[in-house]
Amino acid sequence: MNHFKATRLRVWLVWAGVGMIAVALLWAGAAQAAVPGITGTSTANTFNLVATQGYITQPDGAAIYSWGYGCAAGSSPSFVPYSTGAFCPGMQIPGPTLIVTENVPFTVTLTNNLPAAVGNTSLVFPGLQIVSVTGGVPGILTQEATPGGSVTYTLLATTPGTHGYMSGTQADLQVEMGLYGAVVVKPATPPSTCVSLGSDVAQHLGIGNPGIDFRLAPSAYDHAATCYDREYLTQWMELDPRIHKEAETQVHAIATCAASTSSPCPTGLDVKTEPYHPAYFLINGRSMPDNMDASYAPNYPNQPYNANPHMHPGDLVLVRIIGQGHWQHPFHEHGNHVRILARDGNLILSQTDAAKLGGRMEFNTDTTPGQAEDGIFYWSGKGLGWDIYGHTPGNAGSPPCVADANGYYTAASGASASSTNYYEWCADHNHPLETNPAGQVGSGGPATQFDPLIVTNGLWYNGTPYLGPDAARRSRGPTPLPPGMATQNPIEESGIVFMWHSHNEREITTNDVFPGGMLQMMVVDPPVWYIDETL
């Protein structure tokens, strides 16, 4: 394990070990996730996929033999949203995320490049309408591609939303091996009332790349209550390395077998998928901390998608969730509950008022295998009991906080684009947390924070519970390094971080070593920090 990865692991261990819900992190322009995917060829709404073998890696250094979907050689998909260095290999896990539009037919051609010993393979699209299927041979669920052969599916999504796709052939083995992916269906008629990026003040400040909208659509559905500001996709999967190793061994044995009259070569696989004992737990094909590295990072050639959400206070974050494996995963998002908008592309509306969504606020966004959900997460700082920007009474640099009708400092109450405390909960304004902190906060507040050197490395933790472009100056002790002294801290910017993780404790391990597995971090950045999804 390299030093960089080991350092991150130590930091996550400290955070989780002390039970902190929110911590401050120096976040130096790290790559985000958005919902990276492809839209088909430039001339037609067509996706040319292949199924083939390859390897994926885990944080413990293991290389896992797997099967996955990828883009056929010579195909030229269009990548969305705007991405730097995007690629679609011939095999990836999960498979390419297909971005389509409601009521617009699209075609998926699958070529079976798996080892001949694997036999047939196929695609099924739960919740989508099959218009026609050509080629292949009949299977139990759908037409299947024989080894070296192809099958073409033409489909129609009659409602927006998030769906999974996966192999419909010997699914207990083929899906386990990695033959699964996602389809995101954009609404055909998003409401005109949805505004661009909501509270993203940085767009107005001209920071970063103003004007780039990283959303796939302004709304999740054709409904005014489904507008959102940011979106992220998570596909949850578990992996039993014994099954993968057995499949690899049998594929190799069949490929190298020299037939004799006494022991003829086997013609197909006989991999036992039970008893099932997964040791790795994946979000978008990676385990933590690998899932925090950039999407399309070259060190994950067959795992291009990360799980690294960011937001600003008050942003409406659309979380797209798919359970892809054998198990239900009780996933918990710290910081707030998630209001479920829809399940499997079906909006949840109030029975008494059609203008309001009826979805519950969920403590855990549980998914059963094959189930997809769309929900809204937001965080505002309300209820914390301290000023999240560290303002102090009488400080000449303390900006005003005029409450709007909901109690926040927003454009509705006179906040300008340059307000560094945009979306502050005004009831906590000028109530800093620390009693005797270093720097400009001064005094006041119910607690004195610990020296950050006690808990972690100052390159990664800046010791302040505050948001803001100058929050690093308000930390206690000799950490962090001054701006410009380390690549992790090039500017004075600080965010608040929440762990999002499975509530099945074993699932936040990597081969039984904590921390790892089905764990990610939501970073709440200050309003003036431009969240750049292109990196």
Q: Tell me the DSSP string of 376-392.
A: EE----TTSSS-TT---
Q: Determine the pLDDT at residue 203.
A: 46
User: Which residues are within 8 A (CB) of 242 and not within 5 positions of it... i.e. 6 or more apart?
Assistant: 277
Closest alpha carbon to 141 in 158, 153, 157: 153
DSSP designation for 205: H
Lowest mean pLDDT, pick from 326-330, 489-493, 496-500? 489-493
Helix (H, G, I), strand (E, B) or coil at 510: strand
Q: Determine the pLDDT at residue 29.
A: 43
> What sign results for the dihedral spanned by CA atoms 271, 275, 281, 283?
positive
333 vs 354, residue with greater confidence: 333
Helix (H, G, I), strand (E, B) or coil at 246: helix
Helix (H, G, I), strand (E, B) or coil at 367: strand
Mean pLDDT calculated for residue range 98-114: 96
User: Which residues are within 8 A (CB) of 171 and not within 5 positions of it... i.e. 6 or more apart?
Assistant: none
- b/e for 435-448, b at 16 or more Cβ within 10 A? eebbeebbebbeee
CA atoms within 13 A on the CB side of 344: 12
Homologous superfamily assigned to 37-195: Cupredoxins -  blue copper proteins (2.60.40.420)
Cα(509)–Cα(501) distance, integer angstroms? 11
Strand pairing class (137-138; 280-283): unpaired
Q: Please, which pLDDT band fits residue 131 given cuts at 50, 70 and 90?
A: very high
Four-point Cα dihedral 508, 509, 515, 520, nearest 10: -40
Cα(308)–Cα(234) distance, integer angstroms? 10
Helix (H, G, I), strand (E, B) or coil at 474: helix
Q: Determine the pLDDT at residue 328.
A: 92
> What sign results for the dihedral spanned by CA atoms 207, 425, 363, 335?
positive
Closest alpha carbon to 71 in 46, 43, 101: 46
Query: What is the rounded average pLDDT for all residues in the chain?
Result: 83
Q: Which two tokens stand for residue 56?
A: 């994926």
Cα(117)–Cα(170) distance, integer angstroms? 13
Q: Please, which pLDDT band fits residue 458 given cuts at 50, 70 and 90?
A: low
466 vs 443, residue with greater confidence: 466
Mean pLDDT calculated for residue range 160-169: 97
Pick from 147-161, 405-419, 454-468 the range whose average pLDDT is largest. 147-161
The DSSP bridge partners found for residue 180 are 166
Q: Which two tokens stand for residue 186?
A: 């954009």
* CB neighbours of residue 61 within 10 Å: 9
Four-point Cα dihedral 326, 330, 336, 338, nearest 10: 50
Q: Determine the pLDDT at residue 7.
A: 33
Q: Please, which pLDDT band fits residue 157 given cuts at 50, 70 and 90?
A: very high
Q: Determine the pLDDT at residue 390.
A: 81
Residue appearing with tokens 């909208």: 213
Q: Please, which pLDDT band fits residue 8 given cuts at 50, 70 and 90?
A: very low
Q: Which two tokens stand for residue 93?
A: 């896990």
Cα(366)–Cα(343) distance, integer angstroms? 11
443 vs 313, residue with greater confidence: 313
526 vs 405, residue with greater confidence: 405
| Portion of the chain with pLDDT greater than 90, in percent | 54
Closest alpha carbon to 526 in 490, 500, 484, 497: 497
Lowest mean pLDDT, pick from 117-126, 141-150, 438-447? 438-447
Q: Determine the pLDDT at residue 440.
A: 53
Cα(294)–Cα(232) distance, integer angstroms? 14
Q: Which two tokens stand for residue 108?
A: 């998926």
Q: Determine the pLDDT at residue 17.
A: 34
Domain boundaries, the chain: 37-195
Lowest mean pLDDT, pick from 7-11, 353-357, 370-374? 7-11
Does the structure show a pLDDT above 70 at 300?
Answer: yes
